[in-house]
Structure 1
Amino acid sequence: MRRLGVVLVLVALLLDGVGPTRAAVARETIVSRVLVLARGADRPLPTTLWYPDHLTGRHPIVLFSHGLGGLPRQFAPLAASWADAGYVVAAPAYPHTNGRVRVDRRDIAHQPADAAYVIGAVRALDRTAGDVLAGHLDVNRVAAVGFSAGGTTTLGLFSPGHAAFLRAGVSISGRRPPAGFGGPAAPLLFVHGDRDRVVPIGAGRDAYGRAPFPKQFVTVEGAGHGEFLNPGDPRYPRESGRILAFLAANVPVARL
């Protein structure tokens, strides 16, 4: 069994390019740890997990994908809020686009396969003797959320032949995926700032127009490239609440 590193949740981190955050207040103690994964020698995928400390019943999985030059820890407040709502959140650091490497944007095309691999590895923890998540994962209810290039990665999971357990997706400031859409219908939420100069809103609308599934496009008025994901931004409560409400409606957490 691969070594697991245990770390504390950090809820007052910087979100790249969007300024400082304020500490998030969770109702439950949220545990975070790093799962050491790799999809081949040249594709390390260290994956940060967040989940409630006291697990009862089964919890859906949310796969989160960062953007170019990003890291999972920069989105800790958002991930911790989902864990506080009862989800098990998994956020890989992609091998050639994370904040610790020289970014190669061409590698975005390979990231949906990375994301699918991570989902499979996390689902397998439900059957891993001795793991705290064993018997507590709702492996048939998985959602994917991503920001910027991570939004593109997220949409790439909903390609022809995707698994039926992938129930819903959220693309935040993303573009259309490298491959077409297909497979079982799954609701999609698109969130985009109308003043985004990094990924223009037209690119998000193009992705939305190509999606054949039930879908919703939300324009964040006056917003640029994702600063509304920063808890210090006044739009954060509304937009983070919108995303959580979408997850709750389409991949609900069973309450015991």
Structure 2
Amino acid sequence: MRRLGVVLVLLALLLDGFGPVPPASAQEAVVTRVLTLTRGADRPLPTTLWYRGHLTGRHPIILFSHGLGGLPRQFAPLAAGWAEAGYVVAAPAYPHTNGLVRVDRRDIAHQHLDAAYVIEAVRALNGTAGDPLAGHLDVNRVGAVGFSAGGTTTLGLFGPGHPAYLRAGVAISGRRPAVFGGPPAPLLFLHGDRDRVVPLRAGREAFRLASFPAKQFVTLRGARHGEFLRPGDPRYARTSARILTFLQANVPVAGL
């Protein structure tokens, strides 16, 4: 039954036009590795990293969050593009919503705590002797991007008391979190107007409730739920460029 559940999740992703894509390691300029992280016995958080193979200077961190039934490797082209632009990208597989487990959508409410934990673990690598990232992380510049349930998780990071180093967030096809608050940070919302999984009105409601003044909402005309994040889609180049431009403006890579 577990195997059948995994097959059904993957089939649903394929039918939605968002199937697996080649890993970032196929791109010579980008290194990938997996951190074995856990936040408690029942919350394993294997986290895929993407970064330049030859690091100089200090690089901001981008935390990426997948959606229900998703996996970090499905977003490898996006992550590799950000890494090539000078970011260190960290993408956890959330314990109860990734594509290899029985998905429990109720756990979305807890994932922003997982995301915050992963960010701190990656920031700590800057001072870890012998790690390839030691001395090369700009720990005071962190951005967050997420798709679908991961978009909700991303917005959940921007609650009361969030750290000032969290500079900007991008919510793609997401819903509102429990609450917004803390230091103002620019937020970008992207949402397809033909999305039947997370309706456009849900994204607009999240945008309306965001209390930060520097926010923008982009409606993707004719788009459904995430196919525009796949390189084969004609909207991919423009969408990925828009996200990268936003990150470069608000979480800049300095001195590179």
Q: Judge same fold: TM > 0.5, yes or no.
A: yes
Aligned equivalent of 1:186: 185
What 5-or-longer segments of structure 1 have no aligned partner?
1-14
**Pairs within 5 Å for 1:1-256:** 17-19=16-18, 29-177=29-177, 179-213=178-212, 214-256=214-256
Q: What is the alpha-carbon distance in structure 2 between the residues aligned to residue 29 and residue 162 of structure 1?
A: 33
Q: What is the alpha-carbon distance in structure 2 between the residues aligned to residue 109 and residue 22 of structure 1?
A: 30
**Contact in 2 for aligned 1:26/1:81 (Cα 8 Å):** no
* TM-score (structure 1 length as normaliser): 0.91
Q: Deviations over 1:191-229 (max 9, x none)?
A: 000000000000000000000111000000000001100
Q: Deviations over 1:64-83 (max 9, x none)?
A: 00000000001001100000
1:89/1:31 CA distance change after superposition, 3 Å: same
**More off after superposition, 17-26 vs 159-168:** 17-26
1:144/1:205 CA distance change after superposition, 3 Å: same
2:194 is paired with a residue whose SS is coil
**Contact in 2 for aligned 1:63/1:142 (Cα 8 Å):** yes
1:163/1:188 CA distance change after superposition, 3 Å: same
Opposite residue 120 of structure 1, the aligned amino acid is E
Opposite residue 78 of structure 1, the aligned amino acid is L
More helix by share: 2
Deviation at 1:255, TM superposition (A): 2.9
Q: What is the alpha-carbon distance in structure 1 between the residues aligned to residue 127 and residue 35 of structure 2?
A: 15
**Contact in 2 for aligned 1:59/1:86 (Cα 8 Å):** yes
Q: 4+ residue runs of structure 1 moved beyond 3 angstroms?
A: 19-28
1:73/1:212 CA distance change after superposition, 3 Å: same
2:231 is paired with a residue whose SS is coil
**Contact in 2 for aligned 1:49/1:90 (Cα 8 Å):** yes
Deviation at 1:152, TM superposition (A): 0.1
Deviation at 1:22, TM superposition (A): 7.7
**Contact in 2 for aligned 1:28/1:52 (Cα 8 Å):** no
CA RMSD, 1 decimal: 1.7
Identity %: 78
Opposite residue 215 of structure 1, the aligned amino acid is K
What 5-or-longer segments of structure 2 have no aligned partner?
1-12
Q: What is the alpha-carbon distance in structure 1 between the residues aligned to residue 27 and residue 238 of structure 2?
A: 19
Q: What is the alpha-carbon distance in structure 1 between the residues aligned to residue 84 and residue 204 of structure 2?
A: 31
Opposite residue 220 of structure 1, the aligned amino acid is L
Deviation at 1:254, TM superposition (A): 1.3
Opposite residue 31 of structure 2, the aligned amino acid is V
Deviation at 1:18, TM superposition (A): 1.7
Q: What is the alpha-carbon distance in structure 2 between the residues aligned to residue 155 and residue 24 of structure 1?
A: 26
Q: What is the alpha-carbon distance in structure 2 between the residues aligned to residue 141 and residue 121 of structure 1?
A: 15
1:24/1:102 CA distance change after superposition, 3 Å: closer
